[in-house]
Structure 1
Amino acid sequence: MSIFVLADTHNKFPEKLSILARDADEIWHLGDVCAERILDELRATGPPVTVVRGNCDSNFEWPLVVDLVRGGLKFRLEHIPPERPPENVDVVLHGHTPVS
């Protein structure tokens, strides 16, 4: 299983993202999407997209936290890094780490 993970796109969607994401089985966006069109572009690559809401996102339908199980591991997706590691979770993936 291949999972493409990204965060903090802030209204930007470089073409290379769709090239990198299209062969993944899933796409996980860890927040600060900022524009629905970014998710539309991700969805157009093919794999199912899971998103969590970041501090710059205004879509309150997106969850703040998503817990998933893949390959026997429990993943937690969230935007803001937790203060402490959560219990009963093997892997925490978070955003809030923009890099240019």
Structure 2
Amino acid sequence: MELHDEMGGKEVGEPGKSEGQNNIDSPLEQCKPERLSDCSLSEISCGSLASALRSNPSHLRELDLRLNNLQDSGVKLLSDLVENPHYGLETVRR
């Protein structure tokens, strides 16, 4: 759970609980793709992550979501970003 460590001990939370999306936005700017694997992301977390990536397109090219318990709908939210060249995301691994 390297993302957990990057966040100074904060778990990746669901929106509306504690700091919500702010828990994801700040560390997202510094995260490497492989650090999103095995960190208990949910469908709601994927929605927040997709929203953060849409509002702040980054240099992130690959998103590794392996070892998370994700449903197809959560992955689809992120995969849609791959289809739009504006966001620069090229690969979503699951």
TM-score normalised by structure 1 residue count: 0.38
Q: When you count helix as a share of all residues, which structure comes out higher?
A: 2
Structure whose alpha-carbon radius of gyration is higher:
1
Which structure has the highest strand share of the two? 1
TM-score, with normalisation over the residues of structure 2?
0.39
